[in-house]
Structure 1
Amino acid sequence: MSRLTDLIANVKTKDPSLGADLDREFKVLSSRLPFGLNFERHRPEAVELPLRPIRRGDKVRILPPRKSSQNGDQGLWHVISINKLKKEASLKLIGAGDTEQRNVALDDLVVVAEFRDKIYPGLVSTGSVRRSDVRPSHIVINGENYHALKALTFTHRGKIDVIYIDPPYNTGARDWKYNNNYVERDDQYRHSKWLAMMERRLLITKELLKPEESVLIVTIDEKEYLRLGMLLEQIFPEARIQMITSLINPKGVARGQDFYRVDEYIYFVFFGSCAVTKLNDPMILTGKKNDNFDKEPKETTRKVRWGNLLRSGTDAKRSDRKHQFYPIFLNKETGKLHSIGEPLLPVTADRQSVIAPNGTVAIWPIRKDGTEGRWQVGHSRLRELFDKGYASVGKFNGGDRVSFSYLTDNIIEQINTGAISIIERDQNGVVVLAYSEEQESIENPKTMWNKTSHSASEYGTSLLRQILPGRSFPFPKSLYAVEDALKFFIAQKPDAKVLDFFSGSGTTAHAVMRINRQFGGNRQCISVTNNEVSSDEQEKLIKDGYRPGDEKWEQLGICDYITKPRIKSAITGKTPDDEEIKGNYKFIDEFPISEGFEENAEFFTLTYEAKEAVNHNLAFKRIAPLLWLRAGAAGARIDTLPENGWEVCERYGVLSDIDQATPFIHRINQVEGLCIAYIVTDDERRFQAIARRLPKTVEPVRLYEAYLSNFSFANGD
């Protein structure tokens, strides 16, 4: 070993880049496990950035001539200088000293980022869709998912409840690329490349998931499930891991002379206290009559759990939902409901100004600590619930503190489908409910799933064709299969954050929207995908003379052609051609797809910023979306540097001129629910002085020190 160390040291003096590569590989070999999963980590991954302008100092690759199907020059070059008049760059070949240099037209170059390089990410908004005034936005990021994950370490470190991914299955059928080349079936390093690709990304998930309670869900088939299982055990030794078998295609997929493939596997990696929520769905058909839990659950006699009308936990302040702060008037003598008042606006209005009707007392959503909270539903909705007997008044002692119960959307849906029955009504007209006998005996779901709703052909491919007529995507997951996998972990977490960094057609975000509708809440999904075109489409585009980065090419990429349109159409209920989507959602939540969802979504493209531009406040516009994401991606966004030195919105504020700290802090104290104050300064002492003046509930973040320190390390491989 010492002899190898000496040789590597000698190489470093002659060729630092080669020496560093050798040193890195030597350390990998010397750290090999004596048993378990060993694999070649192969060449470090690199990604081409066709939309990124060429800058001096960039690492670039020379593109093949247009209409050429060859890979072209795979060498990497440094950009020494740029001649804007001639629109060309002077290059020096990396690793060849000064011996090889050339001038190349800018149009024939593409920027390359290796995964060991330092990056400083930003985001550019490419559109949005809004149908809710209260919910946060679902996020779609078009970019290399490894770098997008790095960006999320600044915005969501330790904040993610669930990561659900459906990575490439490594079938050898051109389903994924490594270093910009398709991994073919006969590639002898095929499995090593796949494992290296997965390991790099899974290591970052450790930084994003909540260590105290979260879950990683990974789907896979027989090609890599054994290796994936061992990889998960090595990366997450502290976690509990379980594998599920799921029937996804009853007709089967041919495997040559082997058994037809009808299922796939799902790994669940549990962290901290994470546990499966019991939702009275065993996920398996046993052959008993009426045991199809997609369709006809039996009646029941078990007690049904009602929701507490007073909001608790996150987003529970009056200012978080201003229209859900209103009085409920009860008869002073009997405690029975008299009427429901209107929302008290603006949020600064004093509730003492409201005069209760004669003979009544006003009950407001006041939390245990005496602060003003909010009800779970709006006043109009609560009136409907009381009219149907779906809400009730708790014990009344003549005072102004009374608890109320109501039926959540999930329970109402089960009433509508017959899973829960109304057996009678009490003297106040409130329903008495019961589950079926059979459902009462159900505990945790089983490890074999064979629900009809999980058929990928019907509820993945066919459903996607309904939403995006004329567009195709290979092997999309069943919407209901993803929904079921998520529900066991977020049904009772109304503010859960879900991440999918192999988002493909956008099924995960779609499933999260459906869960919000069924259970209520403001769950949010972050979807990451690149904008690659399919292999067949790529051949056609190259033949026609197009390259990545050309408008025609990018229009047909996964993100722009499938992911973004699918999520937008799911929300609006309309196809990309602005026609109402035909058909209904099925099973437990059956309604017309054309109704859409009361949700929001924002679309971004990942950018790569220069450190100097960040330091000199020249990249704020691209960093601004990251600040918004870190504050919860809800409400307004501060997209430009404030002209008067500061700006405050619903969730966060930006102080760009520290001499304006006093009015900035004064405004922050007036905004309930604000969680972050970004302070732009190089002076640590003044930053700390301002931070001490902020409310304890507001997190002070120093720009750009916090941002730069988060990314100022080599990414490694």
Structure 2
Amino acid sequence: MAHIDNLVASIADPALREALQAEIRKLAGNRQLGLVFNEHKPESVLLYGQTRVRKGDKVQVMADGSRDRTRVDDTGIWRVAAISGDTATLVHKADPAQLRQVPRERCVVTREFGDPVFPGLRSTGKVERGGDKTYHTVINGENFHVLQALQYPYAGKVDAIYIDPPYNTGARDWKYNNDYVDDMDPYRHSKWLSFMQKRLELAKELLNPESSVLIVTIDEKEVNRLGMLLDQVFPRVTKQLITIVINPNGSARRNELARVEEYAYFLSIGNVAPSSIGVDTLADAPANSSNNEPVRWERLLRGGDTARRADRPNLFYPVFVDVQARKIVEVGDPLAATTPRASVESRPGCVAVWPLRTNGDEGRWRVSASTLRSLLEQGHARLGAYDARADRWSVLYLGRAQIRRIQEGELLVVGRDDQGAVVVERGDQQQVRPSPKTVWNLNRHRAGEFGSSLLRRLLPDRSFPFPKSLYAVEDCLRMAVAEKPEALVVDFFAGSGTTTHALMRLNKQDGGKRRSISVTNNEVSPEEATSLRAAGHFPGDPEWEALGICEYITVPRITAAVTGMTSAGEAVKGEYKFVDEFPMAEGLAENVEFFELTYEDPNLVSLGRKFQAVAPLLWLMACAQGERIDSVADAGWAVPDDAVYGVLFAPEVWSDFVEAVNARAGTSNPLTHAFVVTDSETEYRQIIAKLPSGIVSQQLYRDYLRNFEINAGR
């Protein structure tokens, strides 16, 4: 630059010299440092379900002879100039001199990223087992536009974002502008970076700038580019890269080392520090903690594919239980391999507990009959809980590691319970819980066993490629929001719904009321798309939509986790492991509602004719809790007893609304939000001035419309 400055200074013509200096300053100011990539043609989304085409809409035209509304010709984007009957007159976006007339039904409404969108939400169902808890939310829609929609209720309010974006492997794992990006695309990495940058910039606006965490998982193909992109979008933010072993056996690669790991970037924003996840992340050993932490009792029933009776017949024997006294009274002898268990006589007043697997097959215990008798005598074994749904009891015992800790004085026996089992507490020496390390090598993070296999338990009749280990996501979220029992967590690459599932488990473990917003689309796999098209089904058809990821995987998986019933209508088999062990069939005490993103006409919104579409966004702003106001009230205002917000639809009845809101201020359930429908800024200010202090207020529909007009072009 110094040499250029000297050359410019030597120019005699002052006008030319000044002009060149001005242009050089522009170039220097625009120079990109760090990661440089192309801004590709704007991403767009085809609203193939929006069949009503209006004047002014951007559209593309369906390919000749096709009935598939996602197959458009190569003429680009047009704008609807006029509509006469069933014919639309189109003007080309790039060349206004081009005119075209096509049947209105052949036009497919298109939204380019950068166009203002006015989103709504349409409820498609819910599952409720959490009483008055807040609701988790699952949204089916283009995640860029959903992120725009979430700016309205949640800008700067999100505590954590966890995403597992497409890894850009070249194996048709993601699309750019409706086309799969494969490994032959010379702009594959650049398209991926452009795709990610747009979404990360919106995510940044959602995160609480004072205290929040962003977690992004990735593999080796884009880990370095992603790191540089995160530096550009989140400058001056603490960023660490975590290596997570997900497959100790390794995934074979031709002429390469077998891959055992993937990565997770943790960005700590503001005043936030990682919480302990309870184990040494390298040693897979329990972390030391406070004296009142419960001591782990193991289940006597052995799990795994080789835990059959035929594998070890000497470990198949009855345990006789006095149901009234709720204790083990006798340990029977092992049966010969060919002896049916029905031949064993029960004991008076007792039931025989056998090592039966969750599918009813005969399994085996972990220890021999003689060892179990010895454990009972020492108080190191006891009867566990009764599973009413499976009609069986569990048997628990202290493993060798726990017994050794008793012998070494780390654990203290302070008494015995009603069964004669020892009551154990930790010793007086209190140690600090270790901070998580940057390498995680834990058995519970194996993607095969605790991702794919666990998902098959919930959805035995369906498949999904490469789901994350439930416990790996749980540990990531624990590190981010363990100290925030009412945290709001967003995942806009939700996939099978592991983030919501993991957050619900965290809530069960500590009584938290955290809630999630998970976003996914409803795309089908390439193979399914081919077979559906061959059968004459296209996007928008019920047969197609039923197999989309949201409807076929995400919603059923989360429903199964809450209800304890599989997608096939049976009790979920197996048990959760590690931090909180209990039968998966018990389900989780949570509430979840499912939505679809809609695109609304701003003119109809401003006229109050689209309140039903906007209503869920108001409910989300009021923390997705209590009753939702879904329609315009005849009285002109609504303050339901079970809601935490109110809406004034008709300003002329403002006094009744204000009286109802103020009446709730002194109760145990005061309102947190108030929405006032009026075009007058003065009238709005006068009304909210009479509301209790602390209530968050919004002017409808001005604030809604202004939000999305301002956020256009991000």
Using the alignment, how far apart are the partners of 2:514 and 2:27 within structure 1?
43
Using the alignment, how far apart are the partners of 1:704 and 1:165 within structure 2?
32
Using the alignment, how far apart are the partners of 2:473 and 2:550 within structure 1?
19
Q: What is aligned with 2:337?
A: none
Verify: 1:697 aligned to 2:694, yes or no: yes
1:255-295 deviation per Cα after TM superposition (whole angstroms, max 9, x unaligned): 2211111100100000111101134322112xxxxxx33xx
Verify: 1:662 aligned to 2:655, yes or no: yes
Q: What is aligned with 2:613?
A: 622
Using the alignment, how far apart are the partners of 1:147 and 1:28 within structure 2?
33
Verify: 1:125 aligned to 2:126, yes or no: no
Q: What is aligned with 1:211?
A: 209
Give the superposition deviation at 1:433: 7.6
Q: Are the aligned partners of 2:412 and 2:426 in contact in 1 as well (CA < 8 Å)?
A: no
Q: 2:238 is aligned with what amino acid?
A: R
Match of 1:261 among 253, 259, 262: 259
Give the superposition deviation at 1:489: 2.0
1:228 partner SS: helix
Superposed counterparts of 1:148-187, under 5 Å: 148-187=146-185
Q: What is aligned with 2:391?
A: none
Superposed counterparts of 1:380-399, under 5 Å: none
Q: What is aligned with 1:3?
A: none
**Computing the radius of gyration over CA atoms, which structure comes out larger, 1 or 2?**
2
Q: What is aligned with 1:202?
A: 200
Match of 1:572 among 563, 566, 573: 563
Match of 1:494 among 476, 485, 488: 485
Q: What is aligned with 2:644?
A: 651
1:126-146 deviation per Cα after TM superposition (whole angstroms, max 9, x unaligned): 111111222111000000000
Q: What is aligned with 2:707?
A: 710
Using the alignment, how far apart are the partners of 2:224 and 2:430 within structure 1?
35
Q: 2:678 is aligned with what amino acid?
A: T
Give the superposition deviation at 1:542: 2.0
Q: What is aligned with 1:371?
A: none
Q: 2:637 is aligned with what amino acid?
A: W
1:640 partner SS: coil
1:562-609 deviation per Cα after TM superposition (whole angstroms, max 9, x unaligned): 111111111111122321111111112111111111101011100111
Q: Structure 1 residues 439, 47: closer, same or farther in 2, change over 3 A?
A: farther
Superposed counterparts of 1:61-140, under 5 Å: 61-64=60-63, 65-66=65-66, 72-73=73-74, 75-82=76-83, 86=86, 88-106=87-105, 108-140=106-138
Q: What is aligned with 2:442?
A: 451
Superposed counterparts of 1:8-407, under 5 Å: 32-56=30-54, 57-64=56-63, 65-66=65-66, 72-73=73-74, 75-82=76-83, 86=86, 88-106=87-105, 108-285=106-283, 292-293=284-285, 297=286, 302-304=290-292
Using the alignment, how far apart are the partners of 2:26 and 2:617 within structure 1?
34
Verify: 1:545 aligned to 2:561, yes or no: no
Q: 1:169 is aligned with what amino acid?
A: Y
Q: Structure 1 residues 545, 438: closer, same or farther in 2, change over 3 A?
A: farther
Q: What is aligned with 2:592?
A: 601
Q: Structure 1 residues 708, 28: closer, same or farther in 2, change over 3 A?
A: farther
Using the alignment, how far apart are the partners of 1:60 and 1:548 within structure 2?
17
Q: Structure 1 residues 262, 67: closer, same or farther in 2, change over 3 A?
A: farther
Using the alignment, how far apart are the partners of 1:421 and 1:596 within structure 2?
32
Using the alignment, how far apart are the partners of 1:67 and 1:687 within structure 2?
49
Using the alignment, how far apart are the partners of 1:67 and 1:679 within structure 2?
45
1:679 partner SS: strand
Using the alignment, how far apart are the partners of 1:28 and 1:190 within structure 2?
30
Using the alignment, how far apart are the partners of 1:95 and 1:111 within structure 2?
17
Using the alignment, how far apart are the partners of 1:498 and 1:548 within structure 2?
30
1:146-183 deviation per Cα after TM superposition (whole angstroms, max 9, x unaligned): 00000000011111101000000001110000011001
Verify: 1:474 aligned to 2:474, yes or no: no
Q: What is aligned with 2:505?
A: 514
Q: Structure 1 residues 438, 586: closer, same or farther in 2, change over 3 A?
A: farther
Q: Structure 1 residues 610, 31: closer, same or farther in 2, change over 3 A?
A: farther
Q: What is aligned with 1:558?
A: 549
**Which shows bigger deviation, 454-463 or 441-450?**
441-450
Give the superposition deviation at 1:100: 2.9
Match of 1:676 among 667, 673, 678: 673
Give the superposition deviation at 1:35: 2.6
**Which shows bigger deviation, 499-508 or 69-78?**
69-78
Give the superposition deviation at 1:432: 9.9
1:179-221 deviation per Cα after TM superposition (whole angstroms, max 9, x unaligned): 1100111111111111111111111112111111000000000
Using the alignment, how far apart are the partners of 1:80 and 1:560 within structure 2?
36
Q: Are the aligned partners of 1:301 and 1:434 in contact in 2 as well (CA < 8 Å)?
A: no
Q: 1:45 is aligned with what amino acid?
A: E
Give the superposition deviation at 1:494: 1.1
Give the superposition deviation at 1:74: 5.3
Q: 2:595 is aligned with what amino acid?
A: F
Using the alignment, how far apart are the partners of 1:439 and 1:201 within structure 2?
45
Using the alignment, how far apart are the partners of 1:66 and 1:574 within structure 2?
41
Q: Structure 1 residues 159, 50: closer, same or farther in 2, change over 3 A?
A: same
Give the superposition deviation at 1:437: 9.2
RMSD: 2.7
1:241 partner SS: strand
**Which shows bigger deviation, 88-97 or 261-270?**
88-97
Q: What is aligned with 1:586?
A: 577
Using the alignment, how far apart are the partners of 1:76 and 1:422 within structure 2?
74
Q: What is aligned with 1:322?
A: none
Q: Structure 1 vs Structure 2: percent identity of aligned residues?
A: 48
Q: Structure 1 residues 279, 90: closer, same or farther in 2, change over 3 A?
A: same
Q: 1:183 is aligned with what amino acid?
A: V
1:286-308 deviation per Cα after TM superposition (whole angstroms, max 9, x unaligned): xxxxxx33xxx48x7954489xx
Q: Are the aligned partners of 1:302 and 1:436 in contact in 2 as well (CA < 8 Å)?
A: no
Give the superposition deviation at 1:71: 6.2
Using the alignment, how far apart are the partners of 1:517 and 1:542 within structure 2?
44
Give the superposition deviation at 1:239: 1.0
Give the superposition deviation at 1:713: 3.1
Match of 1:503 among 480, 494, 504: 494
Q: Are the aligned partners of 2:675 and 2:698 in contact in 1 as well (CA < 8 Å)?
A: yes
Q: What is aligned with 1:424?
A: 414
Using the alignment, how far apart are the partners of 1:612 and 1:74 within structure 2?
29
Unmatched segments (≥5 aa) in structure 1: 1-26, 286-291, 307-413
Using the alignment, how far apart are the partners of 1:252 and 1:71 within structure 2?
43
Give the superposition deviation at 1:643: 0.8
Q: 1:248 is aligned with what amino acid?
A: I
Number of equivalences: 567
2:476 partner SS: helix
Q: TM-score, normalised by structure 2?
A: 0.75
Q: Structure 1 residues 655, 301: closer, same or farther in 2, change over 3 A?
A: closer
1:444 partner SS: coil
1:476 partner SS: coil
Q: 1:705 is aligned with what amino acid?
A: R
